[in-house]
Chain A
Amino acid sequence: MNLISLTPWDLGLAASLVLMVALLSANMHLGVGKQLLIAGLRTVLQLVLLGLVLKLIFSYVHLGWISLMAVFMLLIAGREVMARQKYRLRGWWGFGLGSLSMFVSSFSITVIALNVIIKVEPWYTPQYAIPLLGMMLGNTMSGIALGQDRLNQTAWQQRQVIEGRLMLGWSWSRSIADIRKDSIRTGLMPIINSMAAAGIVSLPGMMTGQILAGTEPMEAVKYQILIMFLIAAGTGFGTLVAVWFGSRRLFDERERLRLDRLKTS
């Protein structure tokens, strides 16, 4: 397959379309023009930077550099999970729990996929490892953020109910069981929806990119299915870990509800 290389001119044309929308918005006083331009600029800068880093990493295949990149991605994702929550755990827990659950799910599943399913040699070959991990992190991130946000917010609102149960001698786990269940379901909803709608309502982004870059459709489909399943598994494990430990953290060793461990952003 021949790959049509994009010239700066092509991208400039696409950029001018965005610029037109921004101008239109300024004329109509919609107030999103500035945001749109800044976001567009960030896209260019961040992606170019990523491209340079990837180029560098692809040319020096070394586990150390790749690990460094992976850890960096994980930390950014952990920060993002925390920032998306209205009520979040105080101190290191807020950041740590999100990052830990993503580490457990995204990292382990990416490593398994590289070693057992794709069987690329060496397993940390950056062309496979980095995009795969990025996709895993990006998606498990939303699941974990949604699940934790739901958990903390519901616990905050239902404080009376939870304590009412504690007063009847219920254990901490039983007292928050329905809220936990609800939060896990919330975290898993996006991936369930996107698996159900894949190929009918939406053409998944990765597959679109691969096909545009010249891959044979069936090959792109196989990779997309693999990615979907990995994401579903990663989001599932990640959300379970985050919501389970998050709900435990809302109680202390005496099984008291400790909402003082949450803070509002």
Chain B
Amino acid sequence: MSLHLVTITVMNSLKVKNLQVLDLQPWSLELMAGEVIYLSGPSGSGKSKLLRAIADLDQYQGEVALALESSQSMPGHSWRTKVALVPAESAWWGALVGDHFSRYELPQLQQLGFDEEVMGWQIDRLSSGEKQRLALLRALASWPRVLLLDEPTANLDRDHGLQLESMIDGLCKQQDVAVIWVTHDREQQRRVATRGFQIVDDAVCEVKS
């Protein structure tokens, strides 16, 4: 049993080694399967840039690997299927919500207060909160192993925020999804994450609690 657990943990762990973007000092991190960490720092300090680099959307120095497989060992799009970035502001191109989903049967839909009818909704009529929740849901449709969430509750009221937190918690516990969560909210940091990192000046430092 314990051997089995260890294998799964190694299989899904995200390894970041000497990652460097902008003028930040190299950052290394090992994220276990099912683990959630938070990342915070003043705006413009490079949080989003770090996430973009891990998702391989920007050029970067260093190495990123998932389950011992380097991001460079597979095509960019395969990597991004496994390591999904959900940006603070989502882009929508189709007329209907369903145009953006690769599958409609998502158990998480209900957990965020939607049902399958949402696929027929018009994008123009969505509130910013609905857009934010749906942007997260569409990313889940491709079974990512790692989620990079950039302030995922910024546009949500407290109840919807808590709902989203518990949905993510379920994903981590049941499907071993690992999460890097950008948030400034101390309460939220305590609620969702086991450890945290903060950008201070030009370094990403682990927060000692």
Contact with B along A122-165 (1 / 0, CB 8 A): 00000000000000000000000000000000000010110111
Find A161's partner among B78, B80, B84, B93 (CB 8 Å cutoff): B93
Interface residues on A, range: 10 to 19
State A171–B56 Cα separation when bound (angstroms): 13
A254-B76, A255-B75 as given contacts; A169 in contact with B93, CB under 8 Å: no
Chain B neighbourhood of A255, CB < 8 A:
75-77
Q: Does B58 contact A (CB under 8 A)?
A: yes
- Are A166 and B57 within 8 A (Cβ)? yes
Find B139's partner among A161, A167, A256 (CB 8 Å cutoff): A167
- Are A164 and B84 within 8 A (Cβ)? no
State A172–B87 Cα separation when bound (angstroms): 19
- Are B78 and A160 within 8 A (Cβ)? no
Contact residues of B between 53 and 110, Cβ < 8 Å to A: 55-59, 72, 75-78, 80-82, 84-87, 89-93, 100, 102
Q: Does B142 contact A (CB under 8 A)?
A: yes
Least distance between B196 CB and chain A CB atoms (Å): 24
Least distance between A169 CB and chain B CB atoms (Å): 3
Tally B residues with Cβ within 8 Å of A. Answer: 28
Find A168's partner among B59, B72, B84 (CB 8 Å cutoff): B84
Q: Does A170 contact B (CB under 8 A)?
A: yes
State A166–B90 Cα separation when bound (angstroms): 12
State A161–B94 Cα separation when bound (angstroms): 10
| Chain A: CB-nearest residue to B138 | A168
Known: A164-B91, A169-B142. 12 other contacts (CB 8 A): A158-B93, A160-B91, A161-B91, A165-B93, A166-B76, A167-B87, A168-B102, A169-B77, A255-B75, A255-B76, A255-B77, A256-B56
| 12 pairs, CB–CB < 8 Å, chain A vs chain B | A158-B93, A164-B90, A166-B57, A166-B77, A167-B85, A168-B141, A168-B142, A169-B78, A170-B77, A254-B72, A256-B58, A256-B76
